[in-house]
Amino acid sequence: MSSPPPADLEVVVTLDDAYLDQMPTIVMKLEAHGFKVLQSMTGIGVIAGTVQPDACSRLQNIPGVKAVEASGSVQLAPPDSEIQ
Amino acid sequence: MDPITPIQASTETTGRFIVTFSEGAQSQALTSLKKCAGITKSQLMNSADFRESGVDMAQIPATGGVLFEHLGLAVIAMESPAAGAVAQEAGENSAIVAVEPEGIMYALHEEKGLSLEYLRGFKDAAVGLYEKAEQGGAEGELAEIAAAFSDSASLTWGLEATRVSLSRFTGRGIRVAVLDTGLDLQHPDFAGRAITSRSFIPGVASAQDGQGHGTHCTGTALGPRTPAQGRRYGVASGAEVFIGKVLSDQGSGADMGILAGMDWAIANQCPLISMSLGADVTTTSTAYETAGQRALSAGTLIVAAAGNNARRSSGAFGFVGRPANSRSIMAVGALDSSLRVANFSARDTVRSAGTAVDIAGPGVAVYSSWPLPVRNNVISGTSMATPHVAGIGALWAEATGARGAMLYQRLISNARSLSRPVADIGRGLVQAP
């Protein structure tokens, strides 16, 4: 019996400048490693999506990928806080 | 968020210094450089000589540098004592506004020679030089006469302190995107205004603000010149309003939505993006850093809140969070109405090149719009300082036609110097044209 795979991680993939016009090709290469696209952002050359945690290093090795980072989040103070 | 790929950020400096001139004072500045550091004009290559191929920094002589005439600055290799002597001369009423060590950045593709590094290298170790220049008054309150502003019947203190009240510019024809919790689209102070809005929150169709923060920030950046009731609080009353809801009504948002909002604003050719948001994370993010750089290349300047994680009264100075800690994004600190650094306003204590506070804006007891039925509210934060800078950026964009890195430079070089550490307020209090 093998344990179930870990949950997919939400990641942000940043493309190298030289590959900005090849986003569809890079998306295909990312998908070959199980990456699921949530959003392609052509203006900033960033692709958001989900992937198995252990696949991140393989994504990083795809030519044209500048960085693979876990997607973070921000949280404002409650609206009745004095400091916002 | 912890990056999977470690970021190669460096705290090193290059040994070169960035010398920024006052507007139109290049020849006097060159005279000062010769007097203080023995650098003559013959030791400075002119960026124009490199033409389209851009400046090759490897060609800079051991002592000497490059003059960027259009930017009003020079990057100069010189010994620290010489730089210190120049820094002594620098100041608000001097031909030289500032002297700062040039930081070493991690690999970013350089386009056309002059990249952000020479504008954004300003961020870091300037503190050392600044304190040298200040000598004696390094810590504690200086004997500067505090200019105290206050809200009047017709104006907020912030519009007075930034001289928005005196400006004839309104940001007409300039698109300003506010990425936040949205806007109360029924707010009477925005009635009749053309508003382009979009939600980046999954499952939420409208950019309607159910929280308040976004309506307050939008009000400061873009509110009307003459509200139907109450004092004026908005900066760029003539600018086009772009509202990206990237934070939910609970005030939270993921990087994906924030980045998507930035992408949307760039696609819509907004010269300014105001982001009063951030996470208390000390590391930088390649995604934000790169997005900021690509935004500048596309003519979009991103302004973000430095963060509220300081508690200065308890001796805690905090740090500039993400994404404001990106070199390519302008980080905004908060001042109170006596132009003192706000208790909560984050300082650059990380000392990584590029992660510092760049500029400051009014951020304590700021009156602006709030979702109905409340209508108006007074709150504090670097979130409130940020839209002052974005709105004033729109005025500069209208007044000068500057975009991207040039607009960044306009805002920085025209800030009002104050006797406060660069690590707290960057170049000083933002000023309207």
Sheet strand arrangement including B359-362: B195-199, B240-245, B175-180, B272-275, B301-305, B330-335, B359-362
Is the pLDDT assigned to residue B143 strictly greater than 90?
no
Tokens of B74: 């020079």
- Residue A56 CA to residue B286 CA, distance in Å, equals 15
Q: Say which CATH number the domain at A15 has.
A: 3.30.70.80
Q: Domain B157-425 - what CATH class?
A: alpha beta
Lowest-confidence pick of A75-79, B234-238, B243-247: A75-79
- Strand bridging mode B195-199 / B240-245: parallel
- B383 as an active site residue: the answer is yes
Query: Residue A75: inside a domain, yes or no?
Result: no
pLDDT at B7: 30
CB contacts of A39 in chain B (<8 Å) are 256, 260
The DSSP call for residue A53 is G
Q: How many CB pairs under 8 A join A and B?
A: 136
Q: Average pLDDT for residues B112-126, to the nearest whole number?
A: 45
In terms of Cα–Cα distance, which of B100, B89, B97 is closest to B126?
B100
Q: What is the pLDDT of residues B269-284, one digit of tens each?
A: 999 999 999 998 888 8
Is the pLDDT assigned to residue B130 strictly greater than 90?
no
Q: Average pLDDT for residues B159-165, to the nearest whole number?
A: 97
Choosing from B167, B199, B213, B352, which is the catalytic residue? B213
Query: Residue A31: inside a domain, yes or no?
Result: yes
Backbone angles phi, psi at B64, to 5 degrees: 140, -170
Q: How far is B167 from chain A (nearest CA, A)?
A: 28
Classify the C-alpha dihedral B374-B379-B381-B387 as positive or negative. Answer: positive
Q: Which residues constitute the domain of residue A47? A: 9-70
**Residue extents of the structural domains in chain B:** 13-134, 157-425
Q: Average pLDDT for residues B10-36, to the nearest whole number?
A: 75
Sheet strand arrangement including A46-51: A36-41, A46-51, A9-15, A65-70
CB contacts of A61 in chain B (<8 Å) are none
Helix (H) or strand (E) run with residue A58 in it: helix A56-60
Helix (H) or strand (E) run with residue B296 in it: helix B286-297
Lowest-confidence pick of B140-149, B205-214, B290-299: B140-149
Q: How many domains does chain A have?
A: 1
Query: Residue A62: inside a domain, yes or no?
Result: yes
- Residue B114 CA to residue B64 CA, distance in Å, equals 17
3-state SS, residue A40:
strand
3-state SS, residue B29:
helix
Is the pLDDT assigned to residue B152 strictly greater than 90?
yes
Query: Residue A79: inside a domain, yes or no?
Result: no
CB contacts of A72 in chain B (<8 Å) are 1, 254-255, 279, 281, 285, 322
Query: Residue A46: inside a domain, yes or no?
Result: yes
Interchain proximity A73–B247, CB inside 8 Å? no
Give the ipTM of the model, two decimals please.
0.90
Query: Residue A65: inside a domain, yes or no?
Result: yes
CB of B324 closer than 8 Å to CB of B278? yes
* Token pair 């100069």: residue: B76
Choosing from B337, B383, B388, B424, which is the catalytic residue? B383
